[in-house]
Structures are given as C-alpha cells and as structure tokens.
Amino acid sequence: MGFTLQEVLACPDVYQVTVVEIEEAIIDWNHRHFGELNGNALGDPRAVVVRSDLFDFIHASHERFHGILVDVDNGPNWLALDNNARIYSKPTLRAIKGILAARGILATWSAQEDRVYWNRVNAVFQETETIRVAETEPQPSETVIYLATAAR
C-alpha cells in the first residue's frame, strides 16, 4: 500500500528508491487508490518503479544499492507462491550481497520467525541482526526483520 515507501522517502538522505513489483495491478492500485493514504509516494520523483520479478531483477542487476528491503509474501516461510522461495535462497542472498554497496544493508521482513532463513543469512553475511517488532493491530503478534550488512 506504499507505507514503507512513504517512510523511506521521508528520510532526507534518500535520493532514489527503486520499487520492484511484479504485479501491474499493485502498481495501478497504488497510483489510483492508495496515493491519498501514502502521501502519493509513487508520485515522488525519487521513486522509480520497475515492473519485474524481484528474483530476476536481483540476478540481472549491475547497479549498486545502499539498501535492499525484501518484503515478499509474508516472509520466507509463509509463501503465497511456492516459486517465491527462490528469493530467500542462498544463491539469491549471495546475489543481493553482490549488488549491495560497501556497508549496504539487506532487510528482510517476515510475518514470523524463520530459523532456516536466518541460518542462510548468517552463512552469507558476516554482520547480522534480528529485530522483533511487536504488532498490536489487528491482533497481537510479533513480526521479524532480519538485517544483514555487506562488509566490503
């Protein structure tokens, strides 16, 4: 719904945000319906929308990113599409590390803890951290954000 993009764009140091979205309908909904809710985040000139599969984008990119946020499905172990498991694989984590700038950060959002994914992250990145976020609405729960820093 564009809330995360809105928060990223609120940071004065951000000069560009690349949003990778596979579904044309999601992009359209954000332009037509969610703009009022998210401060018209996609209308910000710093927001660049790329219609692509995130897996394909990561593996084909030659750009360097200071940060990459993976927010696909409900995380690595609660997939709407089985094919999305490849986004959370070791080869993709290595590819992400390869396109991160020095000291760049990977943040992976997950609706629940996933030790298997966490072990993969730790196998690829030397600096890692888990942040637990207590949610109160619509019901009490705890989401997890896995952070990993490219040490180069």
| pLDDT for 135 | 76
Q: How far apart are CA 71 and CA 110, in angstroms?
A: 7
User: Is the omega angle on the peptide bond into residue 91 within 30 degrees of 0, that is, cis?
Assistant: no
pLDDT under 70: residue ranges of the chain: 140, 152
Contact 3, 38 (CB under 8 A): yes
Q: How far apart are CA 49 and CA 109, in angstroms?
A: 20
The angle formed by the CA atoms of residues 133, 11 and 112, to the nearest 5 degrees, is 20
Q: How far apart are CA 83 and CA 30, in angstroms?
A: 24
pLDDT for 75-102, tens place per residue? 888 877 888 899 999 999 999 999 999 9
| pLDDT for 20 | 94
Contact 148, 106 (CB under 8 A): yes
Contact 51, 83 (CB under 8 A): no
Q: Structural domains in the chain?
A: 1-52 (no CATH), 53-152 (3.40.50.150)
| pLDDT for 60 | 96
Q: How far apart are CA 132 and CA 129, in angstroms?
A: 10
